[in-house]
Amino acid sequence: MQQNLLDFDAQALTGYFTEMGEKPFRARQLMRWIYKEGESNFSAMTDIAAALRDKLTQCACIAAPNVMREELSDDGTRKWLLDVGTGNAVEAVYIPEETRGTLCVSTQAGCALDCAFCSTGKQGFNRNLGVAEIIGQLWWANHQLGKDAPTSTSSGQAQGNWKISNVVLMGMGEPLLNFDNTVSALRLMLDDHAYGLSRRRVTVSTSGIVPAMDRLREECPVALAVSLHAPNDKLRDALVPINQKYPLKELLGACKRYLEKAPRDFITFEYVLLDGVNDSVQQAQELVRLVRDVPCKFNLIPFNPFPQTHFRCSKPEAIRRFRDVLMGADIVTTTRRTRGNDIAAACGQLAGLVQDKTKRTMQCPVVLHG
């Protein structure tokens, strides 16, 4: 069986070549071909010795997940459905903007956390993705965007700069429950011989796996986004069940510890606004008190509906009032503009195809008040 070299970060690839009796610098050469040139054909790697190219052709491969379907939104957002085997498929989303291009990457086939308002969680959970399946999403997107000529949206606006400048691990799954593979993929994103992205431009989103947040701080600190969604434990227990294991006091303590080594001097808190559930002025005021000791900014996310949910998006006026309370407390607050909603590529809508090993039954979440 051929070894997929996308499964190796720099250290592992160096070890692979050492076992083959090759010099360590071969790993750097190969990484530049794979990630900077997007090359998967060993015979095209002209500065690598012919004998080594022949050997690699026999024993190794460079294989990203196969793309089953691609969808293009009216706003230029692109979504790929990628086959990860055994009946599972995950989704990656590219969001072009005037000054940057962001790729949203998945780390698991499904998600075990079952957050009440998230389509991915309602599909159940099958397995963690391997390194090749995570970094392969970035490899494929770079390859595809590089070969496609820029086109225009229906409004005549250019679809961004067609370059991936930012990566967010906010797709399907909880990245910190797939810690080792996620960190290996992060190291490839940051490695100057691979993608060379800034730590400030790579973001891991977590629902609050406290021990793994501490490990990430020590092993590979990148920008951190925390899915908060509630101002108190009672409500968050219902919306984000992992809160029952790592309640808000522990979570916010981990956030403060993370900032000691983070590339940014703030934590981003993600907050999905649900009509009549977590969007009142009183709850905004409670939120201000909750985070007063944590340098942070808030990203307010209007809820994006999906089939079989009872939740509704907060009304524009409620969103404005909620935002004004936070900003009045000198907390930097943005309201995320919904992108890719017409192709179910917006936040919380990614579902893919998941063969559910958790045997979770599909249940509509109960609408909570207060």
Q: Is 255 annotated in the active site?
A: no
**Under a CB-based contact definition with an 8 Å cutoff, are residues 305 and 341 in contact?**
no
**What is the H or E stretch that residue 334 is in?**
strand 332-335
**Under a CB-based contact definition with an 8 Å cutoff, are residues 91 and 345 in contact?**
yes
136 alpha carbon, distance to own chain's centre: 13
Which residue in the block uniquely carries the two structure tokens 């939120």?
Answer: 287
Helical spans, DSSP H, in the chain: 10-19, 25-31, 50-59, 119-122, 131-147, 179-190, 210-219, 233-239, 248-258, 281-290, 316-328
Alpha-carbon span 339 to 332, nearest angstrom: 21
- Nearest 5°: the CA angle 91, 139, 129 is 50
- Nearest 5°: the CA angle 200, 205, 209 is 120
Task: Work out whether strand 101-104 and strand 166-169 pair parallel, antiparallel, or are unpaired.
Answer: parallel
- Nearest 5°: the CA angle 181, 185, 188 is 145
Q: Is 133 annotated in the active site?
A: no
Longest dimension (CA), the chain: 69
Of these residues, 22, 91, 133, 174, which one is catalytic? 91
For 260, 278, 305, 321, the CA distances from 334, given in Å and listed in that order, are: 24, 17, 20, 13
119 alpha carbon, distance to own chain's centre: 15
Query: 286-305 burial, b for 16+ CB within 10 Å, e for fewer?
Result: bbbebbeebebebbbbbbbb
**CB-side neighbour CA atoms (13 Å) of 204:** 32
Alpha-carbon span 159 to 5, nearest angstrom: 32
Of these residues, 104, 220, 255, 347, which one is catalytic? 347
* Token output for 235: 């409500």
Catalytic positions, please?
Answer: 91, 347
